[in-house]
Structure 1
Amino acid sequence: MFSRKARLKDIAALTGVSIGTVDRVLHDRGQVAEKTREKVLRAAKELNYSPNIIARALKTRKGFNIISLLPFPTDENSFWEKHPEGMEKAMLELDQFPVSLRQYTFDLNNEKSFQKKAAEVMRQNFDGIVLAPVFKNESITFCSLLRKKKIPFVFVDNFLTETNFLAYIGENIFGSGRVAGQLADLVTPGNKDILVINIAKNLRNMHHLNKRTDGFISYLADKSYRKRKTLKLNIPGTDKQVVKKSLEKVFMKYPDIATIFVTGSKSYKIAENAYGFGNDGVNIIGYDLLENNVECLKEGKIKFLIGQRPEEQTYRAIKKLFEYLSLKKVPDKLDYLPVDIVTSENVDFFINSH
C-alpha cells in the first residue's frame, strides 16, 4: 500500500498544538515559542512532510518572466537542439501559472555573439534566467551584472565557481572526465599511448573542456605505473583538411596512440579522419548523442559516448527557477545528473528514453 501524504493536522496531532500553530511554524508567519517551533519541525521531518507546492504557487498569482540564453544548434553540432525541448516540457507543466519564457541564443564559437545577446537580454524586464556559461570571461562579466540587479541565474551544461549562481544542473564535469579516463584505461594496452583532443578556437576560455581534460588526466595519473604517454592536441576548427592534417602530424610523431579522448561533442569529426595512419584499431571516446556521433558509434568508429541528458538539464532548470521565484524555495546548488556511458549495444535505449 502507498503511504498517505502527511498533512498539517497530522503534525498538529503528533505535537499536541493547533493547526494554526503548525501553519505559522512551517510558513514562518507570526510569533511561536522556540520550544514549540523545534517540536513542530521535528514532527514534520519525522512524518516526511512536504508542502503542496502547486497550491502555494497558485495563491501568489504573481507573474514571472524567465529568459534562457543558450547556444543555437548548428549542422555540425546539434547538441543544443535538445535543450529547448526540456524547457518546453517544463513550461507545459507550469501552464496554469502566470509565467512566461523567452529564448535567446548565441553562436557557440563566437564570444562577441554572446556579448551582444547578453546586452540585449539586460535591456529586457525579467525575473530569472537559465544560462549556459560557455565563455568563461564573458559569462563572469554578465553574471556580475545579473547579481547587481538581484536577478537569479541557473546554469546548465557547466558552471562557474567565480559567480553566485542559484543552481547548476548537469554533469560533474571533472568527474565525467575521470569516467572517460577509466574507459580509456580499460581499452588501452599498458604500452600504448592515449591522445586527448580539444576542438576549440580559444581553448583557454572554454573552461568546461579544460575541466574534463583535468579529470581525464587525473584518473590516468593514478595509473602512472602504466608504460604509456598521455598526449594533448588542440585543433582550432572543424575544417576537414585542418583536422586530417593535425591527426596525420600527431600520428607520425606518436605511432603508438591506441585511444583518443575527444572532450567535446564533435567526436565524429575525429572518427571520420582518424583512420588510415596504420592505426585502424584506435579507440575513440567522446560526448553526446549527436546523429553523426551515433552513426559512427554504430559503425564501430567510436568506442564510447558519454551522454549529458540536455533536455533534463533545462527541464530541471526551469522548474527550480520557478519554485525559487514563486515560493522562495532555495534549490540544492549542485544538481549532478548521471554520467551515461553509451555503446553500440545500448545506444538505442538512450535515444528512445531521452
Structure 2
Amino acid sequence: MITIKDIAKEANVSEGTVDRVIHSRSGVSKKTEAKVRKILERHSFKVNPVASALAMKKKHQISVLIPEYNDSDLFWKSPYLGVLKAAEDVKNFGVYVSVFRFNQSDPVSYLNAFEDLLETKPTEVIMVPNFSDETKQIIKELEALNIPYLFLNIDIKGFNNIAYVGQDSYTAGYVAGKLMHLNNPESSEFLIIQTLQNITKNNSISDRIEGFKDYFLKNEINSNSRGLKLENLNDTLENQEVINSFLKNHPEIKGVFVPSSRIYMVVNCLEEHHLKNLQLIGFDNTPQNTACLLNDSVAFLISQKPFDQGYKSVRLLADFLIQNKTPEHKTYLPIDILMKENVKYNGRDEFVSENNNAVEVF
C-alpha cells in the first residue's frame, strides 16, 4: 500500500506538503498542488479516515433532535436505534453523537430540547422538523452559528438543509393507492383517516394523501376518496362512535387508508363486521401494526425503513465531516410493501441495544 512518504518522495516534496494537499489546507503553490494531486490520482491514493482523524486529533459532534417514543407510539424507537448503531460505528473516526428527545405534541419541549442540544456545541445537527414555526426559529439559530443541519423523516421545503433522509412520501402514497385499487378493482369509495395533529405539523402525511389520490386521478380510475379528521386518535371511545357512524352512513366505502403509523388504533375502533368487509392500508411495522397485519385486520403496511433513516443520517454526516463527502440532497429509503407473509423478514432494529456507551442521550 502506497503511503504519504512514498507520494512525497515521488513528488520531491515534504510529507507535510502532501498532507496539506490531501486535506486541502493552504500553504502549497498551485503548481505543486497539481503535481501532488496527479500522483495521488495515479496511485488511487485513499485517506484512511481512522488514521486521519487520530492524526489530526480532531473531534466532531453530531447532535440529534428526535421525538420521544412510548408504548402507544413506538415508531420513533426505530430511527433512534438506527442512530445508536451508527454512533457505535463512527466513534473510532472521532465522531461523537448526542441525542436530545422531545414530546412531539409539545412545541415548548421541542424548543427546550434544542436549547439543550446547543450546549454540546455541535459540528452538525440531525433534526426531525416537527413544528413549522418553531423549526423556523431553530434553523435561524443554526444558520447564524453556521451549523449544517439534516432533516430526518420529515421533509420541509424552503430551508437550506444539507440533506433529507427519509421516505419519498408522495410516491409511498401513490403506491398505497395502487394497492387499494388492486384489492378493489371496481369503482369504489375509500376513506382517509387522519388526526388534526397530523394535519398541522407533518408534511409527509399530506404528501402521502396527495400521492394516494393522484394514483386514481392520473390513471383515470373512477373512484372517490373521502376524508375523516379525528381530534385525537388516543380517545378510543369517541373515535369508535365517529368512525363506525361514518361507515354506517357510507356503506359504499370499501377501503380505509391511514397515512400514519397508528393504523392499529383505527383497527381498535372498528366494529367486527367493518373489519371483515374493508381493506385497510397503513404505514410502518411497529409491533402493534404488525399484529394487525398478522391477524388479517390490515391488508398492507408500507415501511419507510425508520431504523435505516436514523443510521443513514449519522453515516452521511460522518462521511461529510471526515472525508468531505457531500451527501445527496435527497436520500430516499426503499418503499417496502409488507404483508402477512413477509413482515417478519423486515427490519433489524430488534438486534440493537438501547444501552449504547457511544451515545449521550438526554
Please indicate the TM-score interval, normalised by the length of the shorter structure. Answer: 0.7 to 0.9
The Cα shift of 1:277 comes to: 5.5
AA partner of residue 52 (structure 1): N
Query: In structure 2, how many angstroms separate the alpha carbons of the residues matched to 1:192 and 1:331?
Result: 43
Which shifted more, 148-157 or 16-25? 16-25
Query: In structure 2, how many angstroms separate the alpha carbons of the residues matched to 1:158 and 1:279?
Result: 31
The Cα shift of 1:203 comes to: 1.2
Structure 1 consecutive aligned stretches of length 4 or more whose deviation exceeds 6 Å: 5-12, 16-25, 46-49
**Which of residues 321, 324, 334 is equivalent to 2:320?**
324
2:222 paired with 1:227: yes
AA partner of residue 273 (structure 1): C
Equivalent residue number for residue 215 of structure 1: 211
Equivalent residue number for residue 240 of structure 1: 236
Distance 1:31 1:184, change over 3 A: farther
Query: In structure 1, how many angstroms separate the alpha carbons of the residues matched to 2:196 and 2:48?
Result: 46
SS in 2 for 1:295: helix
SS in 1 for 2:154: coil
**Which of residues 158, 171, 174 is equivalent to 2:170?**
174
AA partner of residue 242 (structure 1): E
The Cα shift of 1:213 comes to: 1.1
Equivalent residue number for residue 191 of structure 1: 187
AA partner of residue 297 (structure 1): L
Equivalent residue number for residue 88 of structure 1: 84
Query: In structure 1, how many angstroms separate the alpha carbons of the residues matched to 2:97 and 2:206?
Result: 32
The answer to whether the 8 Å contact 1:25/1:32 transfers is: no
Equivalent residue number for residue 152 of structure 2: 156
Equivalent residue number for residue 268 of structure 1: 264
SS in 2 for 1:263: coil
The answer to whether the 8 Å contact 1:89/1:315 transfers is: yes
Query: In structure 1, how many angstroms separate the alpha carbons of the residues matched to 2:309 and 2:267?
Result: 27
Equivalent residue number for residue 117 of structure 1: 113
The answer to whether the 8 Å contact 1:83/1:310 transfers is: yes
The Cα shift of 1:81 comes to: 1.3
SS in 1 for 2:314: helix
Equivalent residue number for residue 278 of structure 2: 282
**Which of residues 251, 270, 290 is equivalent to 2:247?**
251
Query: In structure 1, how many angstroms separate the alpha carbons of the residues matched to 2:171 and 2:282?
Result: 14
Residue by residue over 1:152-178, the C-alpha shift from the partner in whole angstroms, topping out at 9 and shown as x without a partner, is 112211222221112221111111111
2:339 paired with 1:346: no
The Cα shift of 1:333 comes to: 1.6
The answer to whether the 8 Å contact 2:66/2:102 transfers is: yes
The answer to whether the 8 Å contact 1:62/1:98 transfers is: yes
Q: Kindly indicate whether structure 1 or structure 2 has the higher relative contact order, using CA contacts under 8 Å at least 6 residues apart.
A: 2
2:324 paired with 1:296: no
Equivalent residue number for residue 31 of structure 1: 29
Query: In structure 2, how many angstroms separate the alpha carbons of the residues matched to 1:278 and 1:297?
Result: 16
Q: Which residues of structure 1 form unaligned runs of 5+?
A: none
Query: In structure 2, how many angstroms separate the alpha carbons of the residues matched to 1:279 and 1:160?
Result: 35
Distance 1:22 1:162, change over 3 A: same
Query: In structure 2, how many angstroms separate the alpha carbons of the residues matched to 1:49 and 1:249?
Result: 68
Query: In structure 2, how many angstroms separate the alpha carbons of the residues matched to 1:174 and 1:257?
Result: 23
Equivalent residue number for residue 69 of structure 2: 73
Query: In structure 1, how many angstroms separate the alpha carbons of the residues matched to 2:53 and 2:337?
Result: 38
- Give the TM-score, by structure 1 length: 0.85
AA partner of residue 66 (structure 2): L
The Cα shift of 1:131 comes to: 0.9
AA partner of residue 217 (structure 2): A
Residue by residue over 1:89-118, the C-alpha shift from the partner in whole angstroms, topping out at 9 and shown as x without a partner, is 122222324433222111122223212322
Equivalent residue number for residue 147 of structure 1: 143
Equivalent residue number for residue 53 of structure 2: 57
**Which of residues 199, 203, 218 is equivalent to 1:203?**
199
Residue by residue over 1:244-303, the C-alpha shift from the partner in whole angstroms, topping out at 9 and shown as x without a partner, is 122123213321111111111001111222334556221111111111101110000001
The Cα shift of 1:209 comes to: 0.9
AA partner of residue 118 (structure 2): M
The answer to whether the 8 Å contact 2:81/2:349 transfers is: no
Distance 1:186 1:18, change over 3 A: farther
Which shifted more, 67-76 or 250-259? 250-259
The answer to whether the 8 Å contact 1:144/1:163 transfers is: no
Distance 1:205 1:84, change over 3 A: closer
Distance 1:171 1:50, change over 3 A: farther
Q: Percent identity?
A: 25
Equivalent residue number for residue 357 of structure 2: none
The Cα shift of 1:351 comes to: 4.1
Which shifted more, 89-98 or 65-74? 89-98
